[in-house]
Chain A
Amino acid sequence: MPGLVTVPASLLALVLLWALLAVFTDPEILPPPLAVLALAAEEWHSGDLLFHLGATLGRVLTAFILAMAIGAAIGIALGLSGKANRAFDPWLIVALNIPALVTIVLCYLWFGLTEVAAIAAVAVNKIPNVAVTLREGARALDRELAEMARLYRFGPAATLRHVILPQLAPFMTAAARSGIALIWKIVLVVELLGRSNGVGFQIHLYFQLFDIGRIFVYAIAFILVMQAVELGILQPWERHASRWRRV
């Protein structure tokens, strides 16, 4: 597997390039990797790093689950019904084009600077993307297999689990992939604008204190967490869901 060799090597090269650039730069502007590592250790021991990572991760997961469930329901309904799709497709296009910042600001103004408003703002941003992806999946559902299931009286539960969901799995994965990537970035903005904890809040704090090292600590820590989610959850699930393809 060539990926095992080249990915770490490539990342190591990136860190080395950073170290090299840092040699020629003011450490206030670009702190070297080892200095950032020391700061990370400090933040870890004080408990701050874990606390704020946890707060952000909780928001990411809650918003992600909400967006996937609601977006999938809307997308599947639109994909299965031509009438519904013609009626609501323009709404979807409008929703897709609302800037994330507008949704966030409006949610805070309407619902106050609360946790519910924060999570709702993030979920609402992502729902249209999930709906569009799952709509394609529902349009592509195999009618012949649906007939087979009807003929053999599978019933709604078994039809959903064994006939429909396996066909939607690739679309769910695609939506989850792009979803998690988009959501965690929006969560940081939501935290920056109206929360008093989380990675976004910390980055805002150290922005005001001009502490670039700690901004690096929080940004890198969260990138690592999200990569762990990708490698530890999304990819194994995808392998499991597509095992029948490996012939």
Chain B
Amino acid sequence: MRVAIESKSFGGDEILKDISLTLEPGSFTVLTGPSGCGKTTLLRILAGLDTDWRGHIEGAEHLAYVFQEPRLLPWRNLLDNIRLAAEPAGHGAEAAAALATVGLEGYEDAFPGTLSMGMARRAGLARALAVKPAVLLMDEPFVSLDEAAAGQLRELTLDLWRKIRPSVLMVTHNLAEAAAMADRVLVLSGRPAVIAADLSLDRPRDRRDSGWVRDFSGRLRETVGNGAVPADPGSL
């Protein structure tokens, strides 16, 4: 997927400027930066949810989005929630299998209101993967979970990413999370925001121990500057 944003404004306020970005197939990119700098706006542009901007985009078909809130239909059970999203992509029959891959077998008939936040997030992930996307956009998919649940969901996300291999672009404030998961980190910053840093992480994930994660997220925090959530590598 390739995007070149010349300019994006809200009202008279220019938010994004001259952002050019290519997501390699099968890569895991993390996008971070100070609060309110335009990360979610960038994600929404890539998803086609925001069309009021100047520039061009290609390879934006077959994408899926894991929203910050799971955005499940509360009046449909889990299986229907997944199936409704997977059907237009031609994968409706595999909805139950998608639920099973995130550990939600047996919950096909459950309504979203009966689930914990962690389970609802899993369902959101199952829905995104059920469409077999080429590009998976994720907007802070692990916030407001307790650390144990967030850790499990991070592992699950990486496992499924290795199996299905979409290009992932994940927004997060959590720099330790970025250090542990990404193979590329983009820092968005400034007003209008530009890509202030583009870092490659070659170190295999199984060798990213807590000391390394602390060092790397410390360097990231200097780049990001104010507004970033302090890294907590001990919890990863």
Interface residues, chain A, with chain B CB atoms under 8 Å away? 144-145, 147-148, 150-155, 158, 162-163, 166, 241, 244-245, 247
Contact = CB atoms under 8 A, between A and B. Distances in A.
Contact of B47 (A144, A151, A162, A166): A151
Given A147-B49, A148-B85, A162-B73, 6 more contacts: A145-B73, A155-B88, A158-B84, A158-B88, A162-B80, A245-B113
Contact of A244 (B69, B87, B111): B111
A151 B111 contact: no
B73 A163 contact: yes
Nearest to B76: A162
B161 interface: no
B26 to A, nearest CB: 22
Contact of A247 (B49, B111, B131): B111
B48 interface: yes
A150 B84 CA distance: 12
Nearest to A153: B88
18 contacts: A145-B73, A147-B71, A151-B48, A151-B65, A152-B64, A152-B131, A153-B88, A154-B88, A155-B88, A158-B84, A162-B73, A162-B84, A166-B75, A241-B75, A244-B76, A244-B77, A244-B111, A245-B113
Contacts of A163: 73
Interface string B28-70: 0000000000000000000111000000000000011101010
A244 B49 contact: no
A144 B114 contact: no
B89 interface: yes
Contacts of B69: 144
A152 B90 CA distance: 11
B74 A152 contact: no
Nearest to B130: A152
Interface of B: 47-49, 63-65, 67, 69, 71, 73-77, 80, 84-85, 87-89, 111, 113-114, 127, 131
Nearest to B68: A144
Contacts of A158: 84, 87-88
A244 B73 CA distance: 10
Given A152-B85, A158-B84, A144 B73 contact: no
A148 B74 CA distance: 13
Contact of A166 (B64, B73, B88, B127): B73
Name, among A152, A155, A162, A163, the residue most crowded by chain B CB atoms within 10 Å (CB to CB).
Answer: A152
A155 B89 CA distance: 11
Q: Which label, helix, strand, loop or mixed, suits the secondary structure of the A interface?
A: helix
A148 B89 CA distance: 14
Contacts of B63: 151
B67 A247 contact: no
What are the 7 closest A-B residue pairs judged by CB atoms, nearest first? A152-B85, A166-B75, A153-B88, A244-B111, A244-B75, A148-B71, A247-B113
Nearest to B128: A152
A80 B216 CA distance: 49
Contacts of A151: 47-49, 63-65
Contact of A153 (B49, B77, B89): B89
B84 A154 contact: yes
A145 B81 CA distance: 12
Nearest to B131: A152
A152 B114 contact: no
A117 B224 CA distance: 72
A144 B84 contact: no
B113 A148 contact: no
Contacts of A145: 71, 73
Given A163-B73, A247-B114, A152 B49 contact: no
A152 B85 CA distance: 5
Contacts of A166: 73, 75-76
B67 A144 contact: yes
A90 B100 CA distance: 54
Nearest to A151: B65
Nearest to A241: B75
A239 to B, nearest CB: 13
A115 to B, nearest CB: 39
A244 B113 contact: yes
B65 to A, nearest CB: 5
A147 B73 CA distance: 12
B85 to A, nearest CB: 4
B50 to A, nearest CB: 10
A245 B131 CA distance: 28
Contacts of A147: 49, 71
